[in-house]
Amino acid sequence: MVRFSDGEGSQQDQKFRMNRRKFLKAGAASALTAGMVGAMKALPAEAAEAAANATGVQNGAKSKLHPTADYGGAGVKFVEHNDQWLGTTKIVGNIKNIHEGDTGFSQANRGKYGPDAQKGYYHYHFVMKHPFNGAIASFALSLAPDFMVSGIPSPQKLRIPDPEQMSQHIKDCAYFLRADEVGIGKMPPYAYYSHKAPSQDDLIKDDLSNSVPVTERLPYVIVVMIDQHLETMLASTGYDGISAAQSMRSYHTTGVISVILANYIRNLGYNARAHHFTNYAAVMAPCIMAAGLGELSRTGDCVAHPRLGFRHKVAAVTTDLPLVPDKPIDFGLLDFCRVCGKCADNCPSGAITHDKDMVEYNGYLRWNSNFQKCTEFRVTNKDGSSCGRCMKVCPWDSKEQSWFHTAGTWIGSKGEASSRLLKQIDDMFGYGDEQIEKYKWWLEWPERYGLPTN
C-alpha cells in the first residue's frame, strides 16, 4: 500500500503545500500593501495636502476645492498664448471679430440656409419641440436680459487679495457653484463679437440694421465648464429627443454660474460681463483655449478638454478684476484628430471633414468642417431634437473614467502612432457608437419632431 506520508513523496507533497507560516507571511505582505494604501487615505490633512502638492498637475492659481487639475490621465503640456498661437491653434493672419448675425444659427434664422432651417430655428423650435428640453431652455432664456449679464460695478472698490489669491478664490467660487472645470485666461480681443445680433424678429427679416456694436475689451476671461452627462449620452443615439437637453443641461447651469460670478465681481467694484448661451458678446471656443481648458478639434468649432472631451458646454465672464491667467494646454489632440476621424465617420449630415490637414479660416488654422450642413441638420432633425452625435462617438469623452481609460488617454496623448493604436482599440471594443439601453430614462415624443406647420 502506498502511503503518501512516507518517503520522498511526502517531502515533495509538503513542498507543494503552503504551510500556515508561509500563508501568514503572504498575508502580512499583502496586508502591508493594503495598509499602506489605507494609511495614505488617513494621512493628516497637512500631509495629504503636501502629497497632493508634490504630485498633482496645476495650471495657474491653485483652487482649494480642486487643488490638482483633472486631465483624466492625458499627458498635458502648458503652451503659449501669443500673436502666433492660441494654445495649439496656429494664427496665420489677422483674426477678424465676427458678427453674431453671421454665426450658424443666426444664418439659419436669417433664411440663408433655406426655409426649413429658418422654420426649424425660429424661436428655438428645434429645442422647444421636446417638452423637457423646452423647459430647460425657457429657464435659460430668463438669464438672457442685459441686466442679468452686465451692469455698473459697485462705486466702492473693495479690498481684495493679490491676483494669485484672487484667482484661486474665483476658481473656488465657481467650483462651489458646481462647475466641473474652471479656467482663467487672457481674453483674446478677437474672441469678442464685432456686433450683437438684433432680435429674432429682425433676423428673420434678414435685417441686421439694429445690431449693436460690441465695444467691451476686458483683459481676462473666466470660463466655467459643465459635463453634459455621461450616462445619458451612452444611452442616446446622439440625435434623439434628449440631445438638445444635454446641451441645455450644461448651458443653463454654466449660465447661472457665470451670471452669479459676474454679479459678485461687480459687487467688488470691478467690471464683469457674463456670456452664456442666451446672451453672448463673445465666441466661446477661443475663450476656452485661452483659459487652458482644451484644444480645437476636427469638428472645427468644438474645443475638447482632456478629461471631458467635448461632452461639455461653457459660459464665461470677462472682467478687469486683477487675476493670474492659466496657460493654454496641449494634450496631443491635433495628432489624435489627424488619425481618428470618428466624428466625421458618424456625423449624420456629413458636416465634418475627413481631410488630414487644416485650412486657413479667418486668420487661423482649423479643420474645414461645414457648419451649414451641421446647422441645417440640427434645426430640421426629424428623429429628435438637435444633435450631438460627434460628441457621443469621440474617444475623448465616450466612456467613464477608469484606470484603463486613464491609461488609454495617456497613450492617446503621445503622438500620431499611439493615437492610431488607441483609435483602433476604441473601435475594437465598440466604444462610442453603442447605445446602452439601461440608462435611457427620458421620454420621446416623435409626433412633435417635425417642422412647425406655420
Partner 1 sequence: MGTILVFLAGILFLAGILFIKPRAKQDLKWKTVVNWVLYVLWYAITGIGISFIYINSSVGHVKATSTAIFLFLGLSLVIAIILARLLGFLGKTRKEINPSIKA
Q: Cell for 276?
A: 452664456
Answer yes or no whether residue 189 interacts with partner 1 by CB under 8 A: no
Residue closer to partner 1 (CB basis): 148 or 340: 340
Residue closer to partner 1 (CB basis): 83 or 437: 437
Shortest distance, position 78 Cβ to partner 1, whole Å: 31
Q: Binding partner of residue 396 among partner 1, ligand SF4, none, CB under 5 to 8 Å per kind?
A: ligand SF4
Single out the residue of 387, 411, 418, 426 in contact with ligand SF4 (rule: CB under 6 A).
387
Answer yes or no whether residue 446 interacts with partner 1 by CB under 8 A: no
Answer yes or no whether residue 447 interacts with partner 1 by CB under 8 A: no
Shortest distance, position 30 Cβ to partner 1, whole Å: 3
Query: Site for partner 1 (CB under 8 A): how many residues?
Result: 38
Identify which range of 55-63, 279-287, 292-300, 316-324 contacts ligand SF4 by CB under 6 A: 292-300
Shortest distance, position 233 Cβ to partner 1, whole Å: 12
287's CB contacts (< 8 A; 6+ apart) are: 185, 187, 188, 191, 221, 223, 275, 314, 316
Question: CA angle, corner 137, sides to 143 and 376, nearest 5?
Answer: 120
Single out the residue of 30, 84, 165, 210 in contact with partner 1 (rule: CB under 8 A).
30
Answer yes or no whether residue 26 interacts with partner 1 by CB under 8 A: yes
Answer yes or no whether residue 390 interacts with ligand SF4 by CB under 6 A: yes
Single out the residue of 95, 388, 438, 454 in contact with partner 1 (rule: CB under 8 A).
438
For partner 1, the binding residues in 224-243 under the rule CB under 8 A are 234
Identify which range of 79-87, 217-225, 344-352, 355-363 contacts ligand SF4 by CB under 6 A: 344-352
Answer yes or no whether residue 7 interacts with partner 1 by CB under 8 A: yes
Answer yes or no whether residue 389 interacts with ligand SF4 by CB under 6 A: yes
Residue closer to ligand SF4 (CB basis): 258 or 419: 419
Q: Binding partner of residue 163 among ligand SF4, partner 1, none, CB under 5 to 8 Å per kind?
A: none
Single out the residue of 351, 358, 379, 422 in contact with ligand SF4 (rule: CB under 6 A).
351
Answer yes or no whether residue 38 interacts with partner 1 by CB under 8 A: yes
Answer yes or no whether residue 46 interacts with partner 1 by CB under 8 A: no
Give the phi and the psi of residue 416 in degrees, each rounded to 5. -65, -45
Answer yes or no whether residue 24 interacts with partner 1 by CB under 8 A: no
Query: Site for ligand SF4 (CB under 6 A): how many residues?
Result: 25
Single out the residue of 140, 166, 272, 394 in contact with ligand SF4 (rule: CB under 6 A).
394
Residue closer to ligand SF4 (CB basis): 128 or 244: 244
Q: Would you give the distance in Å from CA 152 to the centre of its chain? A: 31
Give the phi and the psi of residue 9 in degrees, each rounded to 5. -55, -40
Answer yes or no whether residue 187 interacts with ligand SF4 by CB under 6 A: no
Answer yes or no whether residue 331 interacts with ligand SF4 by CB under 6 A: no
24's CB contacts (< 8 A; 6+ apart) are: none
170 contacts 222 by C-beta, under 8 angstroms? yes
Answer yes or no whether residue 216 interacts with partner 1 by CB under 8 A: no
Single out the residue of 404, 446, 450, 452 in contact with partner 1 (rule: CB under 8 A).
404
Residue closer to partner 1 (CB basis): 147 or 403: 403
Identify which range of 52-60, 212-220, 249-257, 370-378 contacts ligand SF4 by CB under 6 A: 370-378
Q: Which residues bind ligand SF4 (CB under 6 A)?
A: 297-299, 336-337, 340-343, 347-349, 351-352, 374, 377-378, 387-390, 393-396
